[in-house]
Structure 1
Amino acid sequence: MTGSRRPGGVLELSGVAGGYGGATVVRDLDLIVGSGEALAVLGASGSGKTTVLRMIAGLHPISAGRVLVDGRRVDHLPAQHRGIGLVPQQGALFPHLSVARNVGFGLVPVDPVARWRSRAERAGRVREVLDLVGLADRADARPSQLSGGQQQRVALARALAPGSGLILLDEPFSALDAALRGRVRAEVSALLAESGATSVLVTHDRAEALATADRVAVLIDGRLAQVDTPERLYHHPVSREVAQLAGEVVLLPATAGGEVAQTIIGTVPLDSPANGDGTVLWRPESLSVRRVGSEGHGVCTGVEFVGASTLVRMRFDGTGQSFAVPVSGGGIVEVGDRVEVTPSRPAVFHAGPPTPG
């Protein structure tokens, strides 16, 4: 596999905006993705994440700003001249071509100065990237003879073949069934790391973003809301909206006073000092539940066994608020029991009108 690992391209977006039919979908986008970094762009449907990917790839024009790869401005270039690889949602392989010919398709020269001029060079590069993705023995197979995961590896090999230092992935695992999705995304992440390529993954799947990326960029209504490591994004979201995109969350009205806040489950510590009315939030796994006597924060309204844990649903006295907390094992709490909730880590506080959990 000599030569298969190449320096990843540095991607820079500066003031990028774009949209459709006069309506701006993405605005004021500033982002730098470092060489060899894996970035995930996470957002709900309609947030603009696919538009961002298409503008980087050259499949959709920008209306403002600049797109640079390794310091070279590319937003004026057609897609085939940007040196960017693209892995689409379902691989988009040519069914009538073999695996090797699918991978080699991107190596056919498109202009007189194209890098891959000779047939021997192209054949050698195809063998190299198929070896990288573990499919050297399937070079003569047709896509229909491959599993869904193998087809996605072929699509990745095709994107890597021209030596692209930047690979874009457009929800590439969404068509796979749940049992296969986790394994294939782990394989693809490992292959991208081994290749040395810089990658940008667009997804609405928060587990996918957190599991595969060095950093996650959260897009809300066409603007970047937070760009951070998966750990910081999950435990220290900058807003309630970001928190809810990154995972399940428990939200309670609170009044902060320095390093603590007053809530319906009592006085709780905060991860940073704050003052005033707002909302505290935790991830459900940061809360524990126990049965108490006549006292307690609320009452258990449901118990659901979900495999590795049991979801305990509860309603708080006099508020109408309810949420579920996962607990290990079963038989800890039963429906109708009075319960007490205890956090295992400080809460994140956000000022503003309280948002019920």
Structure 2
Amino acid sequence: MKKIGLIVVALVSTLSTNAQDNLDQLLAAGVADAERFSANYIKPANDGLAYGINTGWFNNAKTPKRFGFELSIIGNGTFINDVDKQFILDTNDYENIRFQDGSTSKPVSTALGHNDPAIFVEVTYDDPIFGEQTTELELPTGIGSANINLVPTAFLQASFSPFKGTQIKGRYFPKVDQEDVKVGLYGFGIQQDFTSFLPADKVLPISISGLIAYTHLDGSYDFTDTGVVDGENQQIETETNTMLYQLIVGTKLKIINFYASVGYLSGKNTTDLLGTYRVSGEVLGQTVYSDEIKDPFSIKSDTTGVLTTVGANLSLGFFGLNAAYTIADFNSASVGMNFSF
């Protein structure tokens, strides 16, 4: 469960459960190499999260009547593609990392994959006393080692219609603190039914609406007490901010409705490795030097793409159910329970 929590907050590779013992050597190889590897390792996890937290913003193309209120509980599963479980590590892009078998490049696990068998590299570092030294490092694997093929997300969503055809929305996932991992989410959106402006609104068989939504996810992992590397205030902080734009078309029947949409997602992800790290070298069990590194690096990436969603909504008085499937760079399936007042 701890490893899943780390991926949910998009933690960098060197601090995943299988990489913690090797953080000292990876940082010793150089901050630039550690940052480059971590950026490639976590990018697919950041992208998957960005898509996952943007599902379920709507369950119909038509909006409730004026002053209508709706409360929804939404669960989603974002599927992991095989292509996102690996990235090509090219040693020509690194200063101090080489494959033991002499290869210049080969596929290695991302945070969503698994190295099977384990992959080892040679890390070269500069010892101030003995000069250039080489040590063996096992590359970290990902959640694929636990046969996990989807990233789950869930949130509580509420909406209110202050005007005819206009629905203001908000979603929230309270910050959870478990085993030094903290994750929280919130978002705001507005959906406008364009057909509500037309004189023939009541006789048209469909509704056409547009949605704009902002979502923020942040998480952190404090691993100071694990003793992975000597130092203080060691933690990872990650943040994802996204904007979603969608055009929705759907039927406007009383009991069951079908809807489809096309949209565009734009997001920015930031992951920071913070704190103080004293990277040391040893000879015969004795520390012969120590190099202090503060706030080693910050990784930034963008997530953009087109989404297409199809779904259905069943309304039974004040209670409703909906299910939808989204086709995108990361496909996802979502379900929701809706209570209307």
TM-score normalised to structure 2 length: 0.23
The structure whose residues are more often helix, as a share, is 1
Give the alignment's TM-score, normalised by structure 1: 0.22
Q: Quick check: which one's strand share is greater?
A: 2
Q: Which has the higher contact order (CA 8 A, sep 6+)?
A: 2
